[in-house]
Each structure stands twice: as C-alpha cells, then as structure tokens.
Structure 1
Amino acid sequence: MDIISLPVEYDKKKIESRYRLVVIAAQRARELSLGSIPKIQTKAKKVTTTALLEAISGNIEFITGQDAIIAKERAEKINYKKLIEEKRKPIEDLSELEKDLKVYLHEKGATEKALEELFAESEESAEKEEE
C-alpha cells in the first residue's frame, strides 16, 4: 500500500496552501463516504487517503473565492428533501411483486404449520412416555 509522505507535495499554482488542500480533501472524503466513485485507482482503503491522493493528482475540480461563496449560497437555498420526493416514483405494477410475496408467505406459513404439527406430535409422545 502506498504511504502518503509528509510533507505532501502538491501543485502550488492550483492549490495555494495546505489549508486549502485539507479542505478540498475533507469535502471529497465526505463525498466518497456517501458513495461517490473514486476518480483514481488506488490501493488505499480509507476514503481520506483516496481523497487526498485525488486532490494532489489534480483530478478534482474545485472553485474558490467569490464563485465559491455564490455556489454555497445557491446550495443553501436548495430544498433537498423536495428534490428527493420528486425523484421517487411510485411503483405502478405491484402485481408481480405481490404474487411473489404471496407465494413466499404461503410457503412460509405452510412450513411453520408443518413444524408446529411435528413438534406437537413429539411433545405428545414425550408426555406418554413420562406416564
């Protein structure tokens, strides 16, 4: 496994300070932990290491300054719950699913009844032997 050496070498034309590098990597690590696909292939198992490697390699696009402030304000105005609800579509054709579930539940019920009968018979025979 690759080990990130300290101090980390990065392009100072794109990322002007270590603080900016940490912020970029932290935001990318959050995205990766929520299921985003990594932009580079690495042997690293931790999302923080992968995020830092992506930031160093320059595979992440980011904005700074006034553009970042405007983007943050726009993001705060978005109602994410409403967007998620709009994206969800009701399942229209439940008939196949219902049929499968009925068969499963029917089989499950039959199995449980058979087990109950089997144990009831074994309990009755055990009681007779005790007498």
Structure 2
Amino acid sequence: MSWIVIAVVSLLSGLLGSLGMGAGAVLLLYLRVFGGVEQFEAQGINLIFFLPIAVLSILLHARNHLISWKAAGVCILAGLPAVFLGVWLGGLAGGPLLSKLFAGLLLIIGVRELFQKDTGSQSEHS
C-alpha cells in the first residue's frame, strides 16, 4: 500500500466526512479493493480514522449552529444498543458475506441518490 495514495484517500475521506457524506465508505473501499486489507481489519482502521475526523467536524458544525442536539441525542441513544447487535451479526456473517452486504448497501444508496428528486425544501446555510 503506497503511503502517498493512502494519504490522498484519507484526505478525500476526511473531506467527505466533514460534509457528512460517508467518508468511511471511501476509505473502507480503498483498503479492501486496492490495499488488500481484510474486511474486519479495514473496518477497525476506518473506525479509528473516523474518531478525530468526527470530533473536528462536530466542533465546526456546532460553531456554525448546524447540529440539532435533540435529534442527535435520540439518534445516539437508539444507535448505541445496535452496535452490539451489529458486531455480533458481523461476526456471524464473516468477512466475505459482510463485504458483499456492504457493497449491496452502497449500491442501493447510490442508485437511490441518483434518481431521488430534489424537493428544494432544504435551506442553504451561508
């Protein structure tokens, strides 16, 4: 794995992460497809990578009043128990099946985004 390439991919992932656009998908795909890293190891690297990116992004978004703390709290409380279930199910599924499920999820999300109509209901923040 070239350190220059991984630095560029990490830079792109950080940029996408700060925009809330699934930076983990970029880094995880690079590690799996081009880096030859096994699924579970790539997930672990991705989680560690995400921590400082998330902290900085949260601080900047909070400074710009772009976070609904009430909604975030509800999401966190609902999501935390799901972590245990997800880790357990991921262990049962194994790396190859997990890779295919992840690819399928990305495909579904990508196709949905391509064909979803823009309602124009979101306000722009300057």
User: Which structure shows the bigger proportion of residues in helix conformation?
Assistant: 2
Report TM bin, short chain. Answer: under 0.3
TM-score when normalising by structure 1 = 0.23
User: Which of structures 1 and 2 has the bigger CA Rg?
Assistant: 1
